[in-house]
């Protein structure tokens, strides 16, 4: 998933971009409204309100006029009127500075779920792999897969964003409900078991130093 950060403050933009990359996103950063309007359309835009040249309000208006790309506006405390105007112009959400990275990440994922309902649907299909999230059933080529609770949760998480890298920290947080920044042997054990049950280790690719991704099969 490609995210465009439109932010002129290096102290905010650089750590934000690094954090999002660690979560498996592809990130491009620009510092002006003009650069934002010239950039290729991403999957989501993080748009600072106060920009040199063309400001965030105008950027939001122009982006929405030509695209339905999800937009999260970043505002400073006390800019309530501007936030209302931007939502009316088509922004999908806003977050107020200073903000925590986890809060921003949650908003990004929530906006993407709303923009692409298929990422949160009860049934996920990736090639011959089919997952019934509500029924907690999975099959490959119409053959049921016998999965443990954690194996199912891990596979469903990876399949919800096929081809995207999911960080180990996110896997631990969403599958094991914990934050842990040390060795992640538990994840490796479950991945090894899943690869065997999927009958092809190439289904799940390890991206060294970042995380895992489900590789869609043709």
Summarised one tens digit per residue, pLDDT across range 1-29 is 889 999 999 999 999 999 999 888 899 99
Long-range Cβ pairs for the range 178-182 (8 Å, 24+): none
Summarised one tens digit per residue, pLDDT across range 58-84 is 999 899 888 888 999 988 765 555 566
Summarised one tens digit per residue, pLDDT across range 139-197 is 999 899 999 989 999 999 999 888 888 888 888 888 886 655 445 678 889 999 999 99
List residues bridging with 5 in a β-sheet. 29, 46
Greater model confidence, 197 or 97: 197
Pick the CATH number of 121-214 from 3.40.50.720, 1.10.3720.10, 3.10.20.30, 1.10.10.10: 1.10.10.10
Summarised one tens digit per residue, pLDDT across range 23-62 is 888 999 999 999 999 998 898 999 998 898 898 889 998 9
Beta carbons within 10 angstroms of residue 167's beta carbon: 18
Q: How far apart are CA 144 and CA 132, in angstroms?
A: 11
Domain with CATH 3.40.50.2300 in the chain: 2-117
CATH 3.40.50.2300 fits 2-117, yes or no: yes
* 151: three-class secondary structure by DSSP: helix
Domain with CATH 1.10.10.10 in the chain: 121-214
- The residue whose two tokens read 């049921």 is 144
Residue 141, phi-psi category: left (phi > 0), alpha (psi -120 to 50), beta (remainder): left
Q: What is the pTM of this model?
A: 0.56
Burial (Cβ within 10 Å: 0-12, 13-18, ≥19) of residue 206: middle
* β-pair type (123-126, 129-132): antiparallel
Indicate the pLDDT class of residue 86, thresholds 50, 70 and 90. low
């Amino acid at each position: 998933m490609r995210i465009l950060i439109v932010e002129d403050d290096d102290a905010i933009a650089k750590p934000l971009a690094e954090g999002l990359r660690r979560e498996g996103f592809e990130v491009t950063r620009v510092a002006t409204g003009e650069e934002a309007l010239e950039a290729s359309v991403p999957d989501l835009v993080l748009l600072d309100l106060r920009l040199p040249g063309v400001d965030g309000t105008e950027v939001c208006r122009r982006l929405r006029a030509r695209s339905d790309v999800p937009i999260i506006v970043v505002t400073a405390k006390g800019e309530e009127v501007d936030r209302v105007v931007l939502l009316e112009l088509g922004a999908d959400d806003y977050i107020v500075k200073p903000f925590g990275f986890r809060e921003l990440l949650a908003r990004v994922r929530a906006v993407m779920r709303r923009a692409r309902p298929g990422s949160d649907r009860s049934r996920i299909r990736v090639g011959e792999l089919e997952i019934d999230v509500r029924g907690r059933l999975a099959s490959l080529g119409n053959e049921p897969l016998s999965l443990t609770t954690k194996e199912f949760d891990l596979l469903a998480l990876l399949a919800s964003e096929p081809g995207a890298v999911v960080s180990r920290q996110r896997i631990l947080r969403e599958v094991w409900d914990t934050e842990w920044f040390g060795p992640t042997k538990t994840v490796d054990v479950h991945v090894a078991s899943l690869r065997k049950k999927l009958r092809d280790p190439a289904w799940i690719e390890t991206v060294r130093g970042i995380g895992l991704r489900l590789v869609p099969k043709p």
